[in-house]
Structures are given as structure tokens and as C-alpha cells.
């Protein structure tokens, strides 16, 4: 498959506007600005594009809700908070192909009738901010951003808003709170941001990768796009592979590629030719899978059938030497740290899960601990304000389901058998 | 409190948003850049520059882990120990840094040259274990590489 999102990234100057334009860059924006917004919306709907941040909501539908709302102005926000551990795909677009994102945002803003846009960039990417700021300046100079884009009377201004180290701000309502200068705590939904978002106005929050798909949809048309990947999850997908593989990195492949193909063909297989033990397929908050389950397809429909989620497509590979208790303990430390404190099940639950996992890993586990873990996770499931706590509970339950014997061994042997 | 140029910078940022409060995170970053950390004076300065209550400024700032309330070392090492980095040895690297650079319980090296901050994922799992030194990303860390890299930050 021809690469769309990572086109030309091996060139050291791929982030420069001249290089982007030499390879057809901003041509799709030019085409889009000659179309009517409804026509573009129609193509996006036909494409079947689903949000790449993790939830997989149909982008065209999200857009149409915001368009239908009569309130003005509307805001377009690019979610570049990419905080899900294991995820680094958006960094590649932002750093190596920033003009693709800008082009996608201008087309989207024109379709949505948004005149102001913000890129909410995670604080941990200060070096990306430099590249992205430069790209935005270049786009302004060429009149691809501004009050009268390409002389077609289209106005769109773009600002980078830097986050400051809070994972929860990847959740769209928390992101909006943070943009407004508040603590990044999620809002209750409904109303959804498409109706009541930033400053009470219709706001579309789309992931970097989602927006980067828009120019290509304009180029080849929604129908042709919908034939890439699987029928229910179309398009190219960026898969991030990390952990115990020979070639960690970002791989652009059709949606629905199997985990086996991604790990063994693209990422080169397991380091030191060890045995594969487990895979976290969609970032740390998605349930773990065992080595026997890697023939499943990585898309929005197949992964839930296998008991996990596509999430952000962040595949963390663990070989036979990795302790699963240690992995889930470290993950829970993360969830506890990132819990925003708004709702009790998450705030208390993540802390208790971490405490219990910590003592099991350190050889002080009690026989009843496993049942307590199960209980706490069950109580949290479905009862937290946002997906953070729910995800945390789900990861523990999956670990217990697939690797129970490792927990038992820690408790019985009063220590970590892997250390 | 803030230099004229800094106040102007904050003023320009305010214009990018429909509401001045949205300039709070950017202004906190600027204050931290100017003072090195968010001292009392820095927080009061932000409150005045944006005409926002001090309690609101402190409330928002306290939510985010990248703001500092004590003076840091001359160079800030932000190292990831989340799962992808952990399984490739990040914890050993952290221990090595702590020992070699004599990092105390507040995360500062004895000579004030480095501050060490343990991070959640920094989005560089493809080059795990990874760290930021000031604004630069370094990956595929080993003990030898750490020495070589940190030597360059005076």
C-alpha cells in the first residue's frame, strides 16, 4: 500500500513546506476550497473514517452534529495530547509531516465553518512544538492560513496550546477544560462538545491522525477510501510497536492487519528470538492478550471480539522474561497518578489496586488479595465518570484472566519469580 | 514583576483566545521559563498579568505535573519509566543516574547541575528507554550513553 500519512518521512526535510508541496502537498486543500462544504462532508461520511484517538467514532457523523448546531462561532481542536502509554504515532505526523495535519485542519475547518483552531499538544513534546510552530508560520506566509486563504475568502487561524503533563486531557471534555484554563477534569456528557464545547460553543475535537486522513479522502474520494482496510474500519492506520521487538516503530498499514503480521513481519519479531508472552494491543489502558491470540485483526470491530480494544493502535510486546504482575503494577501506578480525582471509584479504586499490586510484586501478597483485586475492579467497572477508571479496572481483570498463575506464584513464593 | 517584554508576550497570547483565562497555561509556562520555577512571585505575576484571582491561578497550576514549585537544577532530566521503557530497563538507568550524579531525595544532583524527574510516558516508546534533557529527546539509553549525553549539558 502506498503510504499516505507517513509519506516521505525518511527525508530529513520532510517537515518543510517546499518538500511537502513538491510532493503534491496543499493540492487537496486547493481542490477542497473549490468544493462546497456539504460535498466534503459527504465524502468524509462515505469514507467511513473513524476517529483515530481510540474511541473510533465516525468522523463524518461527529462533524454533521456540529454543523447542524446553529450556534456560532464553532471551534476545531486537534487532539495532539497523545498520552496513552505505548503511543507515539501522532509524534511522527507532527514532527515529520506537520503540513499534512495543517492541510487536513484547513479542509476540516472549511467544512465545519470553524474560523479558529487549536492544536492541544502534550507538554512532553517541546521539540515537536518547535517544528510545528515553524510549519504553521510557513503556512501563514503562503496564505494557507489566515483571513483569506488562497484568496478564496476562507478564514482560519491556528494556535498551538501546550498541555502540561496530564494524561486525562486526552479525554475531549477534559481537554476543553484545560484549553479554557481550568484543571483538566472531564465534563459530564451530554451535552457533547459538538454542541456545547469550548466556551460553550460547538467544538469538534479530532485526533491528529484522523485529521491527517482528510486530505487523502478529498484526493481519492470517500468511496475509494472506504475500500482500504476493512469495511467497518476503513483506511490506513498507524500502528506503534514497542517493547520486546527487533524493530520498534510506527508502521502504516491497512486497518485490520493482524497482530501477528505487525509484530513478526513489520517489527521484525521478538528480540533475541525469545518467546512471545503477551501483547497489550491498543495502549496501556486496553486489556492484555496472550500469545495465542495474535491472529486477530487490529481494527475497531475485531479487537472487542477478542476481548480488547484497538485504542490508539499502540502495541506493547512482552516476551517470556517479562513479569506480568510488574507490568500491571507499573500500569496501575500510572492510572493512580493520572486519575483526576473527580469521581470516587477511580480516585480510590486506582489507589487500592496499586497498593495491592505493589505488595504482591514485592512478595508481601496475601492469599485473599486476588479476590480483592477482582472485587475492586468489578466495582469500578462501568461506574467511573470517564473511561480512565474503567480502563484501569479492565486491564487488571484481563491480567487476572490470562495470567492468574503469575499472581499466584508471587504470593506463594513471597516474591517476584522474574527478578 | 514581569519584564515589559514578557507582559507583551502574554498580552499577545491573550489575543489568540476569546477569553483571557485560556491564556493561563501558556502564561504559567512563560513564568516558569522566566523564573525557572513557579515561585510565589511568578504565580502572583501571572495572576496580575491575566487579571485572574490568585487562587484560580494556583488551582489550575497545581493540577499539572510539569509545573515546578522549587528551583530546579541547571538541566532537567525527565526520564520515562512507564511500561515500554520499564521492560527495556528504564529502572536500572534511573538507579544508575541517581548513583552516578548523586541525586538527592528532592531529585537534585549535589552540584546543582541536574534535576531528575520520573515521568509517565513521554511518547518515545520506539526508542525506549528514553528521556528528555531540557527540550531534547534522547532514546535507546544505556549507561554509557547516559554519561556521554549528560556530559554535554553543563
Give residue-wise pLDDT tens across range B52-61.
999 999 999 9
Can you give the pLDDT at residue B25? 98
Band of residue B120 on the pLDDT scale cut at 50, 70, 90: very high
CATH assignment at residue A241: 3.10.20.600
Percent of residues, chain B, with pLDDT higher than 70:
100
The rounded distance, in Å, linking the Cα atoms of A396 and A393 is 5
Instruction: Output the CA–CA distances (angstroms, integers) from residue B101 to A21, A28, B81, in the order listed.
Output: 47, 52, 18
The rounded distance, in Å, linking the Cα atoms of A392 and A286 is 8
The rounded distance, in Å, linking the Cα atoms of B30 and B13 is 11
Where a domain ends, among A172, A199, A226? A226
Band of residue B40 on the pLDDT scale cut at 50, 70, 90: very high
Q: What is the pTM of this model?
A: 0.97
Quote the ipTM score.
0.97
One digit per residue, the tens of pLDDT, for chain A of length 419 reads: 689 999 999 999 999 999 999 999 999 999 999 999 999 999 999 999 999 999 999 999 999 999 999 999 999 999 999 999 999 999 999 999 999 999 999 999 999 999 999 999 999 999 999 999 999 999 999 999 999 999 999 999 999 999 999 999 999 999 999 999 999 999 999 999 999 999 999 999 999 999 999 999 999 999 999 999 999 999 999 999 999 999 999 999 999 999 999 999 999 999 999 999 999 999 999 999 999 999 999 999 999 999 999 999 999 999 999 999 999 999 999 999 999 999 999 999 999 999 999 999 999 999 999 999 999 999 999 999 999 999 999 999 999 999 999 999 999 999 999 97
Is A16 part of the contact surface with chain B (CB cutoff 8 Å)?
Answer: no
| Residue among A160, A242, A322, A357 with most chain B CBs within 10 A, to mutate | A242
**Which residues 320-349 in chain A show a CB within 8 A of chain B?**
322, 326-327, 330-331, 334, 337-338, 340
**Which residues 211-250 in chain A show a CB within 8 A of chain B?**
240-244, 248-250
Task: Kindly state whether residues A272 and A215 are assigned to the same domain.
Answer: no
Can you give the pLDDT at residue A419? 79
Task: Kindly state whether residues A187 and A298 are assigned to the same domain.
Answer: no
Edge-to-edge, what's the strand order for the sheet holding A276-280?
A249-254, A236-243, A314-319, A276-280, A289-290
Can you give the pLDDT at residue A1? 66
Residue-by-residue DSSP string for A108-165: HHHHHTEEEEEEEE-TT-HHHHHHHHHHHHHHHHTTSSEEEETTTTEEEEEEEEE--S
Question: Does A127 sit within 8 Å of B18, measured CB to CB?
Answer: no
How many domains would you assign to chain A?
A: 3
Reported in sequence order, the residue ranges of A335-398 that DSSP labels E, i.e. its strands, are none
Task: Kindly state whether residues A331 and A241 are assigned to the same domain.
Answer: no
Which residue among A162, A316, A337 places its CB closest to the CB of B84?
A316
Question: Does B64 sit within 8 Å of A164, measured CB to CB?
Answer: yes
The rounded distance, in Å, linking the Cα atoms of A119 and A105 is 10
Domain-embedded: residue A172: yes
Residues B60/B26, Cβ–Cβ less than 8 Å = no
A3 contacts: CB under 8 Å, gap ≥ 6: A236, A252
Give residue-wise pLDDT tens across range A382-391.
999 999 999 9
The rounded distance, in Å, linking the Cα atoms of A276 and B40 is 52
**All structural domains of chain B:** 4-63 (1.10.10), 75-151 (3.40.30.10)
The rounded distance, in Å, linking the Cα atoms of A370 and A189 is 34
Residues B123/A91, Cβ–Cβ less than 8 Å = yes
Mean pLDDT value across residues B36-42: 96
Q: Which helix (H) or strand (E) holds B10?
A: helix B4-14
CATH assignment at residue A393: 1.20.1440.230
Instruction: Output the CA–CA distances (angstroms, integers) from residue A159 to A66, A77, A105, in the order listed.
Output: 21, 10, 12
The rounded distance, in Å, linking the Cα atoms of B117 and B112 is 14
Task: Kindly state whether residues A251 and A182 are assigned to the same domain.
Answer: no
Task: Kindly state whether residues A354 and A336 are assigned to the same domain.
Answer: yes
- Residue A69, C-alpha cell as written in the block: 448546531
Task: Kindly state whether residues A216 and A245 are assigned to the same domain.
Answer: no
- Name the closest residue on chain B to residue A267, using Cα atoms: B126
Residue B119 reports pLDDT greater than 90: yes
Band of residue B1 on the pLDDT scale cut at 50, 70, 90: confident
Where a domain ends, among A226, A248, A278? A226
Can you give the pLDDT at residue A2? 82
Task: Kindly state whether residues A265 and A207 are assigned to the same domain.
Answer: no
**Which residues 30-89 in chain A show a CB within 8 A of chain B?**
82-88
Q: Which residues of A touch B10 (CB under 8 A)?
A: none
Quickly tell me which residue has 451535552 as its cell. Answer: A191
The residues pairing with A119 across neighbouring beta strands, listed in sequence order, are: A78, A160
Is B135 part of the contact surface with chain A (CB cutoff 8 Å)?
Answer: yes
Domain of residue A120, residue span = 17-226
Domain-embedded: residue A2: no
- Give the A:B interface size as CB pairs under 8 Å: 141
Amino acid at each position: 500500500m502506498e503510504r499516505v500519512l507517513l509519506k516521505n518521512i525518511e527525508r530529513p526535510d520532510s517537515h518543510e513546506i517546499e518538500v511537502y508541496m513538491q510532493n503534491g502537498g496543499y493540492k487537496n486543500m486547493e481542490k477542497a476550497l473549490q468544493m462546497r462544504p456539504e460535498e466534503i462532508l459527504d465524502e468524509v461520511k462515505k469514507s467511513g473514517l473513524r476517529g483515530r484517538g481510540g474511541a473510533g467514532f465516525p468522523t463524518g457523523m461527529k462533524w454533521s452534529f456540529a454543523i447542524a448546531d446553529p450556534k456560532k462561532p464553532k471551534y476545531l481542536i486537534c487532539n495532539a495530547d497523545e498520552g496513552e502509554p505505548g503511543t507515539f504515532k501522532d509524534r511522527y505526523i507532527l514532527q515529520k509531516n506537520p503540513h499534512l495535519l495543517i492541510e487536513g485542519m484547513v479542509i476540516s475547518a472549511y467544512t465545519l465553518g470553524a474560523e479558529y483552531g487549536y492544536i492541544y499538544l502534550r507538554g512532553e513534546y517541546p521539540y515537536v512544538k518547535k517544528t510545528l510552530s515553524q510549519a504553521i508560520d510557513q503556512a501563514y506566509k503562503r496564505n494557507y492560513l489566515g483571513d483569506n486563504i488562497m484568496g478564496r475568502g476562507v478564514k482560519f487561524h491556528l494556535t498551538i496550546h501546550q498541555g502540561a503533563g496530564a494524561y486525562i486531557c486526552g479525554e475531549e471534555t477534559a481537554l476543553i477544560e484545560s484549553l479554557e484554563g481550568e484543571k483538566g477534569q472531564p465534563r459530564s456528557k451530554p451535552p457533547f462538545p459538538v454542541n456545547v464545547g469550548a466556551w460553550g460553543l460547538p467544538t469538534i475535537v479530532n485526533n491528529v491522525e484522523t485529521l491527517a486522513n482528510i486530505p487523502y479522502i478529498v484526493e481519492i474520494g470517500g468511496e475509494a477510501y472506504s475500500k482500504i482496510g476493512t469495511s467497518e474500519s476503513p483506511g490506513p492506520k498507524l500502528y506503534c510497536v514497542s517493547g520486546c521487538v527487533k524493530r520498534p516503530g510506527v508502521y502504516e498499514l491497512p486497518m485490520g492487519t493482524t497482530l501477528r503480521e505487525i509484530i513478526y513481519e513489520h517489527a521484525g519479531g521478538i528480540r533475541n528470538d525469545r518467546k512471545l508472552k503477551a501483547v497489550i494491543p491498543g495502549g496501556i489502558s486496553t486489556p492484555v492478550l496472550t500469545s495465542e491470540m495474535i491472529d486477530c485483526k487490529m481494527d475497531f470491530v475485531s479487537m472487542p471480539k477478542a476481548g480488547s480494544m484497538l485504542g490508539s493502535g499502540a502495541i506493547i510486546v512482552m516476551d517470556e522474561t517479562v513479569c506480568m504482575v510488574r507490568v500491571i503494577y507499573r500500569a496501575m501506578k500510572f492510572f493512580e497518578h493520572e486519575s483526576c480525582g473527580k469521581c470516587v471509584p477511580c480516585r480510590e479504586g486506582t489507589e487500592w489496586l496499586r497498593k495491592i499490586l505493589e505488595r504482591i510484586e514485592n512478595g508481601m501478597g496475601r492469599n485473599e488479595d486476588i479476590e480483592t483485586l477482582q472485587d475492586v475492579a468489578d466495582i469500578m467497572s462501568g461506574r467511573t465518570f470517564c473511561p480512565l477508571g474503567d480502563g484501569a479496572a479492565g486491564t487488571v481483570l484481563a491480567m487476572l484472566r490470562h495470567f492468574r498463575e503469575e499472581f499466584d506464584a508471587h504470593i506463594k513464593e513471597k516474591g517476584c519469580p522474574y527478578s | 514583576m514581569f519584564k515589559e517584554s514578557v507582559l507583551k508576550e502574554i498580552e499577545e497570547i491573550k489575543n489568540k483566545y476569546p477569553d483571557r483565562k485560556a491564556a493561563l497555561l501558556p502564561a504559567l509556562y512563560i513564568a516558569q521559563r522566566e523564573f525557572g520555577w513557579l515561585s510565589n512571585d511568578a504565580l502572583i505575576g501571572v495572576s496580575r498579568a491575566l487579571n485572574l484571582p490568585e487562587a484560580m491561578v494556583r488551582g489550575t497550576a497545581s493540577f499539572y505535573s510539569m509545573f515546578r514549585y522549587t528551583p530546579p537544577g541547571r538541566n532537567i532530566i525527565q526520564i520515562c519509566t512507564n511500561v515500554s521503557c520499564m521492560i527495556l530497563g528504564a529502572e536500572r538507568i534511573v538507579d544508575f543516574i541517581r548513583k552516578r550524579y548523586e541525586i538527592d531525595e528532592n531529585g537534585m544532583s549535589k552540584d546543582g547541575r541536574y534535576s531528575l524527574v520520573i515521568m509517565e510516558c513521554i511518547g518515545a516508546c520506539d526508542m525506549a528507554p528514553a528521556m528528555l534533557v531540557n527540550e531534547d529527546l534522547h532514546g535507546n539509553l544505556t549507561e554509557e550513553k547516559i554519561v556521554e549525553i549528560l556530559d554535554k549539558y553543563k
